[in-house]
Structure 1
Amino acid sequence: MRSITTTRPLVALGVALGIAVGGVAAAGAATTATATTTAAAPAVRAVQNFGLSSAQAKNVQNWLKQNWGYNGSIDGQLGPESWKAFQRNLKEFWGYPGAIDGIPGTETVKALQRLLKDGGWGYTGAIDGIAGDGTRAAFRNFADGI
């Protein structure tokens, strides 16, 4: 028999995992999990256009296809394959230190901000890795000008 000090943390962990994975219904099922069972959410890689229209994102994809080994479809949605190609550019020229993983996280955004600032695309903000209004406006300038 488990003591209350062992069971209570497992139930709390199961509820938290259930909510994270699929909501309250899954939380009830997750409460029966043992300490060796883990719930893994599927890796979802979302499209991240950072304020670009579909037409602007297609411009970026065409540029990536011509210059950075992008071989996906020109669909106006900057998904993982678009961002992998962009990360190759950012790694070579703009100080991106991370893996070529297609995830436009903080380090990808910092390198993008350096490109937008030093490349003359109108970014005047801090290199902070936050894709705010200034980053998005400059990214649109970039997409329109390439």
Structure 2
Amino acid sequence: MRSTLMRSTLVTVAAVFAVGAGGLVTAGPAVAAPTATAAVADESVVPLEVVNLGLTTDEAKHVQCWLRDHWGYTGAIDGLLGTESWKAFQRNLAAHWGYTGPIDGIVGSGTISALQRGLQANEGYTGPIDGIAGPETLAAIKRAADGWTYC
């Protein structure tokens, strides 16, 4: 039990440092969703990246329903915006908002910049297109999520 807890803690700490070192998304702990973990047969722990950008579980479910209905998301409607949710979102951002990166589900500055362009056009976002998920970006994504249909 202790080794599993230690391994889980080390994986979580390593993931936090990897995200911070890469400058992927600048957000405080108040807007970060906890990292979910899934155990596999050999009892090792595999991190599942969840980036809810400050959305509640219900708001994130709204986003997942919209992604399912329009952008090919086939995962669970569980309110956890993981890799598959973000791949679907990146397909939307590539089609409409200038995202040019890989469809990999990684929420980097390119994903956030394209999201900011979409939020600027549709949700009254007036902040900079800087790839940083700051307070104005988070408020605009909440407005968008509230407007999307819940399953």
TM-score, L = length of structure 1: 0.69
CA-based RMSD: 1.6
Tell me the secondary structure at the aligned position of residue 68 of structure 2: helix
CA contact (8 A) 1:62 1:74 kept: yes
1:139, distance to aligned residue in structure 2 (A): 0.2
1:44, distance to aligned residue in structure 2 (A): 4.1
Residue 141 of structure 1 aligns to which amino acid in structure 2?
R
Mapping for residues 1-146 of structure 1, pairs under 5 Å: 44-119=47-122, 121-146=123-148
CA contact (8 A) 1:61 1:70 kept: yes
Structure 2 unaligned spans of 5+: 1-12, 15-44
Tell me the secondary structure at the aligned position of residue 67 of structure 2: helix
Q: Which residue of 2 aligns with 1:26?
A: none
Higher relative contact order (CA 8 A, sep 6+): 2
Residue 114 of structure 1 aligns to which amino acid in structure 2?
R
Q: Give the whole-Å Cα distance in 1 for the aligned partners of 2:139 and 2:46.
A: 29
Residue 96 of structure 1 aligns to which amino acid in structure 2?
Y
Q: Give the whole-Å Cα distance in 2 for the aligned partners of 1:117 and 1:69.
A: 24
Q: Can you list the C-alpha shifts for 1:15-66, whole angstroms capped at 9, x where unaligned?
A: xxxxx86xxxxxxxxxxxxxxxxxxxx9844100001000000000000000
CA contact (8 A) 1:54 1:75 kept: yes
CA contact (8 A) 1:95 1:111 kept: yes
1:118, distance to aligned residue in structure 2 (A): 1.1
Q: Give the whole-Å Cα distance in 2 for the aligned partners of 1:101 and 1:130.
A: 19
- Higher alpha-carbon Rg: 1
Percent of aligned pairs with the same residue?
Answer: 57
Q: Give the whole-Å Cα distance in 1 for the aligned partners of 2:50 and 2:117.
A: 22
TM-score, L = length of structure 2: 0.67
1:122, distance to aligned residue in structure 2 (A): 2.2
Residue 137 of structure 2 aligns to which amino acid in structure 1?
T
Structure 1 unaligned spans of 5+: 1-19, 22-41
CA contact (8 A) 1:122 1:141 kept: no
